[in-house]
Structure 1
Amino acid sequence: MIMMKKRKIPMRRDVLTEEMLPKKQLVRIVRDQEGTISIDPTGKKSGRGAYVSLDPAAVQAAKGKRVLDKVFDQKIAPEFYDELFAYVDHQKARQELFGQQQ
């Protein structure tokens, strides 16, 4: 019987709920050096990053409280919150349809 080493699961803090969650259950938002805020599906873009859970309700609440404006210390267009909501909603639906991807 071969014992496989248990792999450490990378954890990140969700900026909307302050919960620690596995990185694979979160989506990364990044601000590049020009100050542009974007969704980073690969998690590899350079810049200041923040993680958001795949919870459309949390994104809607964040839009009202302007949470990402505070995290990135700059004004973020309401359209970005709408884009983030659509992305998160889509990813959550994919997860439910196909199961947790590893």
Structure 2
Amino acid sequence: MAKNKVPLRKCVVTGDMKPKKEMVRIVKTKENEIFIDDTGKKNGRGAYVSMDETVIQQAKEKDILSGVLRTQITDDFYEELLSHVQYRIARIEIMKQNEQ
């Protein structure tokens, strides 16, 4: 049985290539709106970040997303991103427990 290809994306913070499902996509629209794209399909300039709290902290400290998305990213957005990553990690852990 043939295996499907797993789409890979590059983390803008670490430079690591990971499966798309293990990343969080941040989008900047033409109207300069910045938001987290759970679907991975919203229009706009996208940047992928690993679902790892230390990577999010590193992005905040170095203000990496501002450079990549070419706009100012607030500390509030980084906090929202960190909360989102913590939530998704918790959901993954719950799903793993339910499978066992």
- TM norm structure 2: 0.91
Alignment of structure 1 residues 14-53 onto 2, 5 Å: 14-53=11-50
Work out which of the residue numbers 61, 81, 87 in structure 2 matches 1:64: 61
- Secondary structure of the structure 1 residue equivalent to 2:48: strand
> What are structure 1's unaligned runs of at least 5 residues?
none
CA distance in 2 between partners of 1:10 and 1:91 (Å): 19
> What are structure 2's unaligned runs of at least 5 residues?
none
- Backbone CA RMSD of aligned residues: 0.9
AA of the residue aligned to 1:82: E
Work out which of the residue numbers 5, 9, 26 in structure 1 matches 2:6: 9
Q: Percent identity?
A: 48
Give, in angstroms, the shift of residue 74 of structure 1: 1.4
**1:92 counterpart residue number:** 89
Report how many aligned residue pairs link the two structures. Answer: 96
Q: Which structure has the bigger radius of gyration?
A: 1
- Secondary structure of the structure 1 residue equivalent to 2:65: helix
- TM norm structure 1: 0.90
Q: Deviations over 1:13-57 (max 9, x none)?
A: 011111000001111100011011100001111000011111011
| Structure with greater helix share of residues | 2
**2:51 counterpart residue number:** 54
- Secondary structure of the structure 1 residue equivalent to 2:49: strand
Structure 1 stretches of 4+ moved >2 Å: none
